[in-house]
A and B are shown apart, each in its own frame.
Chain A
């Protein structure tokens, strides 16, 4: 945590709106991407980001500075995403993965982009078949690039658990993806 951030947090706690916005808006994209990985579509991810910021805004005074501010922020993001999934009892139609701004406007996409979308779809579908405990760690690791340490802090589990969940998660994912590829080829 750099000095600027410390100062911004200090001021945010005093109710300084400017400081708060500067503080959190920098993290917006990152939070959106974490949420996107977890909930799997644009609209819900946006909801999660909003919800997260509102929570942070209301609870910034409870942040004690024991962990990194970002970790705290990401933990709230993960929890908010989980809540959303739980409340929605989520079943995700494949089409929704694309988001309306990518397929909805009827633009013809270049081949490369189509392949990218297909790949994304395949991976998100596979991730959905994993148990939440496993998919969360894998999303945070491979999609968002956090270290085991950070993941442990965000999810509030110890690093050994992170290690074994990633290991088992990837093994399961491998099987699922191989299965999917085989089906796809047929």
Chain B
């Protein structure tokens, strides 16, 4: 084989569409021929690139749209069929109608000729000799008239049967979007500082009970360090679930219980995800119903087994979706609030007993202290006086002398 021929084979080789013999020849050639090898690599590259494009997936509600569309078409078809009955398409019945038409025409001509014959006959019909049901049957038969009637009876029955089925199904798949409101999962995380941990926890629990929520988890931590027990700071976390309508109220309530350190509120809108799964579920349920219908009609054992396998698969899928919807519902209906609580002792509030504790003792103590001070003062005064006595003596003598001296001086004058 020459290079041109080999190059023609590259794609087939890549796709595994060569016979074994050809493949070996091809491989041998590209091992030897560098140009062909390069060409092979670059073509392989192209194929791989296209291969790597991911499959598209259809929008989930597409299936439903499609079924609706088919229903519409079927309706139109059915209307069309009612206007022109099935038998009409058959040339045999066309001929039959023609023959009947000619027949009737000739009879009516004959009737016009003998007017007497016409009147009583129709009058009898009017008087009720022919029941409503009978006349209905007559009109029915008229649409499948004449020679082809026998042949058409079977077909007519089939047609009536299937048309009944069709009308049964034309009702639009009942799209129940009663739950159309937005699906939002609210959650919040709060940290608060409280004076008394235990009381706060009790309050929260009571509140949760009041609004008919529940506690998901709760944990408390009491540290072992700290010199005295009353100085230890309790902290903990409690995760509560409350009906989402009470979400805001609950947040306010909890914030009031202590000093808010930080809060984080989030709302995850899962509406579209939810809707998608809902639609998928609906489609699966429709499918399940259909398959059950088929099951009823199945007559062969092989068929039944096959259908059951399919039914099982669909039911598993349905259950999966139901579970996730239920989970979401729960998340949406009950908002999650996780609260971190920290107990904080404020230092000024730790004064022992307040200023009036042991007031009697303090008065007594103060009284004694004061007495002591007085006694001590008196003692000190006495000592001071005793200490001063020599000085007083000297001063008194000096004063006496000085006075005497003054007095003598005044006398001399």
A and B assemble together: yes
Q: Could you say which residues of chain A place their CB within 8 Å of the CB of B370?
A: none
Which of the four size classes fits the interface of chain A?
Answer: 35 or more
Q: Determine whether B74 belongs to the interface, using a CB cutoff of 8 Å to chain A.
A: yes
A79-122: CB near B (< 8 Å → 1, else 0) gives: 00000000000000000000001000000000000001001100
The residue on A at minimum CB distance from B163 is A15
B70 touches A166 (CB 8 A): no
Q: Could you say which residues of chain B place their CB within 8 Å of the CB of A8?
A: 294
The residue on A at minimum CB distance from B71 is A17
**Contacting B303 at CB < 8 Å: which of A3, A20, A49, A53?**
A3
B142-174: CB near A (< 8 Å → 1, else 0) gives: 000000000000000010001001100100000
The residue on B at minimum CB distance from A149 is B17
Q: Determine whether B252 belongs to the interface, using a CB cutoff of 8 Å to chain A.
A: no
B46-67: CB near A (< 8 Å → 1, else 0) gives: 1101111111111100110111
Q: Could you say which residues of chain B place their CB within 8 Å of the CB of A3?
A: 302-303, 306
Q: Of the 9-residue stretches B8-16, B214-222, B377-385, B393-401, which lies at the interface with chain A?
A: B8-16
**Contacting A148 at CB < 8 Å: which of B15, B58, B77?**
B15
On whether A28 and B58 interact (CB within 8 A), knowing A3-B306, A143-B53, the answer reads yes
B280-294: CB near A (< 8 Å → 1, else 0) gives: 000000110111011
Distance (Å) between the CB of B161 and the closest chain A CB?
9
Q: Could you say which residues of chain B place their CB within 8 Å of the CB of A101?
A: 59
**Contacting A33 at CB < 8 Å: which of B56, B62, B287, B297?**
B56
A32-74: CB near B (< 8 Å → 1, else 0) gives: 1100100000100110011001100110000000000000000
Q: Could you say which residues of chain B place their CB within 8 Å of the CB of A18?
A: 169, 289-291, 293-294
Distance (Å) between the CB of A17 and the closest chain B CB?
5
Query: Interface residues of A: mostly helix, strand, loop or mixed?
Result: helix
Q: Determine whether B69 belongs to the interface, using a CB cutoff of 8 Å to chain A.
A: yes
Distance (Å) between the CB of A57 and the closest chain B CB?
6
Q: Determine whether B79 belongs to the interface, using a CB cutoff of 8 Å to chain A.
A: no
B12 touches A163 (CB 8 A): yes
Q: Determine whether B43 belongs to the interface, using a CB cutoff of 8 Å to chain A.
A: yes
In the docked arrangement, what's the CA distance between A119 and B63, Å? 29
Q: Could you say which residues of chain B place their CB within 8 Å of the CB of A158?
A: none
Distance (Å) between the CB of B307 and the closest chain A CB?
7
The residue on A at minimum CB distance from B70 is A57
Distance (Å) between the CB of A82 and the closest chain B CB?
19
Q: Determine whether A21 belongs to the interface, using a CB cutoff of 8 Å to chain B.
A: yes
Q: Could you say which residues of chain A place their CB within 8 Å of the CB of B15?
A: 141, 147-148, 166
A50 touches B55 (CB 8 A): no
On whether A50 and B53 interact (CB within 8 A), knowing A22-B290, A167-B11, the answer reads no
B291 touches A173 (CB 8 A): no
Q: Determine whether B42 belongs to the interface, using a CB cutoff of 8 Å to chain A.
A: yes
A28 touches B63 (CB 8 A): yes
B298 touches A163 (CB 8 A): no
Query: Which one of A3, A14, A25, A167 has the highest number of Cβ atoms from chain B below 10 Å of its Cβ?
Result: A167
Q: Determine whether A128 belongs to the interface, using a CB cutoff of 8 Å to chain B.
A: no
A15 touches B66 (CB 8 A): no
**Contacting B165 at CB < 8 Å: which of A2, A17, A127?**
A17
A170 touches B47 (CB 8 A): yes
Distance (Å) between the CB of A64 and the closest chain B CB?
20
List the interface of chain B (C-beta within 8 A of A): 7-12, 15, 17, 42-43, 45-47, 49-59, 62-63, 65-67, 69-70, 73-74, 77, 158, 162, 165-166, 169, 286-287, 289-291, 293-294, 297-298, 300, 302-303, 306-307, 310
**Given pairs A8-B294, A50-B65, A147-B15, 14 additional interface contacts (CB within 8 A):** A11-B294, A16-B162, A18-B294, A22-B294, A53-B69, A141-B15, A143-B51, A148-B12, A148-B15, A164-B8, A167-B7, A167-B10, A170-B43, A174-B45
**Could you write out 24 A-B pairs with CB less than 8 Å apart?**
A2-B306, A4-B307, A7-B300, A16-B162, A17-B165, A21-B286, A22-B290, A29-B57, A32-B56, A32-B58, A33-B55, A42-B56, A54-B70, A119-B49, A142-B51, A143-B51, A148-B17, A163-B17, A164-B8, A166-B12, A167-B8, A167-B12, A170-B10, A174-B43
